[in-house]
Amino acid sequence: MEKRAEKLIAGLEERLRFFSQIGIDFVSMSNSKDISFHSLEERVLKCQECELSQGRTNAVPGEGSLKTELMFVGEAPGRDEDIQGRPFVGRAGQLLTKIIGAMEFDRKDVYITNVVKCRPPDNRNPHKEEIETCKNYLLEQIDMIKPRAIVALGKVAADFFIHSSQGMTALRGNFHKFQDVQVMPTFHPSYLIRNEGNKSIKKMVWEDMKKVMAFLGKK
Ligand code: SF4
């Protein structure tokens, strides 16, 4: 974790030094966004605000395009993500990458993150207090990226955006407004894997993704 944070800081410093050497004493809006984002990632990588920091190998801020119209938000990093410091890289991540491809996006052209940035022990759901402590990082990411749509993967992510006592089956399939963003809740890819033979769940997820594509003018 420390090494990744040091690398990010070194990269940022090098960039600022370069700007200064070539006589640029201002930073353009897009560079300024990159720099703010790097600084946010750096804060996540060093964060010890909740007890999830104690068991992690790496915090996982998220990855992808900062200019995207579409974000995917899951609940928390799992084992593979914790080891690699990247979101959705395990089996569920590979399935998510396929879903994104089927939506005619490239994984690098969307932004992928989680509600909490550190792995809960034994992959349990994050506790309410952990979500509350971590929430500003996700809110800042949304504020900087300004996506038009967010796909909330699973109930924990859906609950972050939608205050409702309804379960996923009732929530999915419709957009819900969060600030200025349209949020589409759908089943988490790991739920799809756990119910591999269940074609109706796959169909529901694809129906949800088609609505997102239509909203973004993809079809
Ligand atoms: S889960 Fe969030 S609040 Fe908790 S230590 Fe990790 S980054 Fe910090």
Measure the CA–CA gap between 60 and 139, rounded to whole angstroms.
15
What is the distance in A from the centroid of ligand 1 to the CA of 131? 8
Q: How far apart are CA 100 and CA 97, in angstroms?
A: 5
Pocket test for ligand 1, best of 113, 130, 132, 135 (most atoms within 8 A of CB): 130
Nearest to 156 by CA among 128, 184, 134: 128
How many C-beta atoms surround the C-beta of residue 2 within 10 A? 9
pTM, entire model: 0.87
How far is the centre of ligand 1, averaged over its atoms, from the C-alpha of 120 (Å)?
10
Alpha carbons 22 and 179: distance in angstroms, whole number: 40
| All residues at 6 or more sequence positions from 191 whose CB lies less than 8 Å from its CB, including other chains | 154, 201
Mutate which of 46, 50, 51 for ligand 1 pocket (most atoms within 8 A of beta carbon): 50
Under 8 Å between Cβ of 5 and 12: no
Within 8 A by CB and 6+ apart from 199, the residues are: none
Contact 109, 147 (CB under 8 A): no
CA distances for 52 relative to 6, 44, 93, angstroms? 21, 12, 21
Is the shortest distance between the CB of 53 and ligand 1 below 6 Å? yes
Domain parsing of the chain, residue ranges: 1-46, 62-215
Q: According to the model, what pLDDT value does residue 1 have?
A: 52
d(CA 194, CA 213): 25
155/171 Cα distance (integer angstroms) = 9
pLDDT, position 8? 66
Identify the CATH number of the domain defined by range 62-215.
3.40.470.10
The two three-digit tokens of residue 15, written as one number = 């960039």
Q: Could you list the pLDDT tens digit for every one of the 219 residues in the chain?
A: 556 667 766 776 777 676 666 665 555 656 788 889 999 999 999 999 999 999 999 999 999 999 999 999 999 999 999 999 999 999 999 999 999 999 999 999 999 999 999 999 999 999 999 999 999 999 999 999 999 999 999 999 999 999 999 999 999 999 999 999 999 999 999 999 999 999 999 999 999 999 999 999 986
